[in-house]
Chains A and B, each alone.
Chain A
């Protein structure tokens, strides 16, 4: 059997589950969840150095994980200029070409600013990043970002941290149909079944954070998402049956138990 590898730019990933590292109760809980999930790509954020909060520094704990690449995000950036700066800083530490480009200036809904995101993407592509922009589920924007060289697009399923699932499914389907780069659902997922659903639809991967970090048992939920993602991808590869408006029997309907015999 040919291994089902996800290719983003020149990078190959064996897992279609990307994991965020925020909101965990402890670094240990996060590391256990990363291991259980089988992910090979985790996101991290940048924050000002503070000697009193040295235990929050994730560089050391993550560097100890085999087969896990880092994807710094640009969270906190209010515009393209700040996002570009954050990406450059992140690359200094990650030694990885991946950047999750996210610009969401409004803290009330955390929805991405498409214009600033587009402008930052153009510059970051020029600077040889593999740019994975977090975007509204907008097929036109997704295509424009592909056109300027983004390595993947990451439409939201629902607003960050809401756990409202694939509320944008119809738009994501259009993005998948038209896209020549991987499509990753980022944000909104709550359950492994939703991740499975995203992969069945043809998404190439999902990025999950809150659903695992805020679970009662993050490590067990990481393992559950791993299975969900694998099931969804396997189903996509197997080819789902078509739907029908009328019932189609799966057993013979010929009577042979008729009492009139």
Chain B
């Protein structure tokens, strides 16, 4: 499945769940916040949410900031 992840094209080979995508990308689930097509998806829904072809995903983490 073709996705855009953080502005870059990404070929997702998993089951289309957000959990699956995060595992595929090596992200720590507890440290990641995520949007699909501009909507924030709470982590409670990551198992059930199903990604679709051409979805635009933003994955974010906390870094230093004032």
When the two chains form the complex, which single residue of A24, A51, A70, A85 contacts B64, counting CB atoms closer than 8 Å? Answer: A24
| Residues of chain A contacted by B7 (CB below 8 angstroms) | 48
Which B residue sits closest to A44, measured CB to CB?
Answer: B62
A57 touches B60 (CB 8 A): no
When the two chains form the complex, which single residue of B6, B30, B42, B65 contacts A45, counting CB atoms closer than 8 Å? Answer: B65
Interface residues of A in 71-119 (CB under 8 A from B): 72-73, 75, 85, 88-90, 92-94
A20 touches B65 (CB 8 A): yes
Interface residues of B in 44-66 (CB under 8 A from A): 58-66
Stretch touching chain B among A9-17, A58-66, A194-202: A58-66
Interface residues of B in 14-64 (CB under 8 A from A): 25-28, 30-35, 38, 40, 42-43, 58-64
A49-B60, A51-B26, A88-B40 known; A73+B31 contact, CB < 8 A: no
What's the Cα separation between A49 and B58 when bound, in Å?
A: 8
Please, how many residues of chain A have a CB less than 8 angstroms from a CB on the other chain? 37
A22 CB within 8 Å of chain B: yes
What's the Cα separation between A60 and B62 when bound, in Å?
A: 9
| Residues of chain B contacted by A23 (CB below 8 angstroms) | 64, 66
In the assembled complex, the CB of A225 is this many whole angstroms from the nearest CB of chain B, namely 14
A60-B31, A85-B38 known; A45+B26 contact, CB < 8 A: no
A93 touches B65 (CB 8 A): no
A36 CB within 8 Å of chain B: no
B25 touches A51 (CB 8 A): yes
The A contact surface, by secondary structure, is mixed
A59 touches B64 (CB 8 A): no
B61 touches A57 (CB 8 A): yes
A178 CB within 8 Å of chain B: no
B63 touches A47 (CB 8 A): yes
Interface residues of A in 226-251 (CB under 8 A from B): none
The B contact surface, by secondary structure, is mixed
In the assembled complex, the CB of B29 is this many whole angstroms from the nearest CB of chain A, namely 11
In the assembled complex, the CB of B9 is this many whole angstroms from the nearest CB of chain A, namely 15
What's the Cα separation between A56 and B66 when bound, in Å?
A: 15
A141 CB within 8 Å of chain B: no
What's the Cα separation between A62 and B58 when bound, in Å?
A: 23
A85-B40, A89-B33 known; A58+B63 contact, CB < 8 A: yes
Q: Which of A24, A45, A73, A210 has the most CB of B within 10 A?
A: A45
When the two chains form the complex, which single residue of A56, A70, A88 contacts B63, counting CB atoms closer than 8 Å? Answer: A56
In the assembled complex, the CB of B18 is this many whole angstroms from the nearest CB of chain A, namely 12
| Residues of chain B contacted by A59 (CB below 8 angstroms) | 28, 30-31, 61-62
A48-B6, A51-B25 known; A89+B66 contact, CB < 8 A: no
| Residues of chain A contacted by B6 (CB below 8 angstroms) | 48-50
What residues of chain A have their CB less than 8 Å away from a CB belonging to chain B?
20-24, 30, 43-51, 56-60, 62, 70, 72-73, 75, 85, 88-90, 92-94, 160, 187, 207, 209-210
Q: Can you give 15 A-B contacts (C-beta < 8 A)?
A: A20-B66, A23-B64, A23-B66, A45-B63, A47-B60, A48-B59, A49-B27, A51-B26, A56-B61, A57-B62, A58-B62, A92-B40, A92-B43, A207-B66, A210-B66
